[in-house]
């Protein structure tokens, strides 16, 4: 995790997907807040809470190296919140 501040939500989202595609644990954790209250829910997964547990969940996902390609097919922004529909290519 880092003290990095992203100027926009889009910048944070881009950093997330870049880290995901590269299977870069440090870059991924740089997107997350330094807070033991963080929560992550992976697709088809359980709720993961706390910085160390979130880090470990990403470490396990990235253990096989870069194997994902992300292509955002539709992006929706509603009242300051952004959601993306993502196609996963493995």
What's the rounded Cα separation, in Å, for the pair 58 and 8?
23
The one-digit pLDDT tens for each residue of the chain (90 residues) are 556 788 888 898 899 999 999 999 999 999 998 888 999 998 888 899 999 999 999 999 999 888 888 877 777 666 655 555 444 454
* Dihedral sign computed on CA atoms, order 81, 72, 8, 66: positive
Helices (H), the chain: 9-22, 25-29, 51-62
* pTM beyond 0.85, yes or no: no
């Amino acid at each position: 995790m880092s003290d990095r501040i992203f100027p926009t939500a889009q910048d944070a989202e881009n950093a997330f997907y870049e880290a995901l595609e590269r299977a870069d644990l440090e870059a991924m954790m740089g997107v997350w807040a330094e807070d033991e209250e963080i929560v992550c829910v992976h697709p088809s997964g359980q709720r993961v809470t706390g910085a160390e547990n979130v880090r470990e969940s990403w470490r396990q996902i990235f253990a096989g190296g870069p194997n994902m390609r992300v292509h955002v097919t539709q992006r929706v922004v509603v009242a300051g919140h952004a959601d993306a529909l993502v196609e996963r290519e493995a």
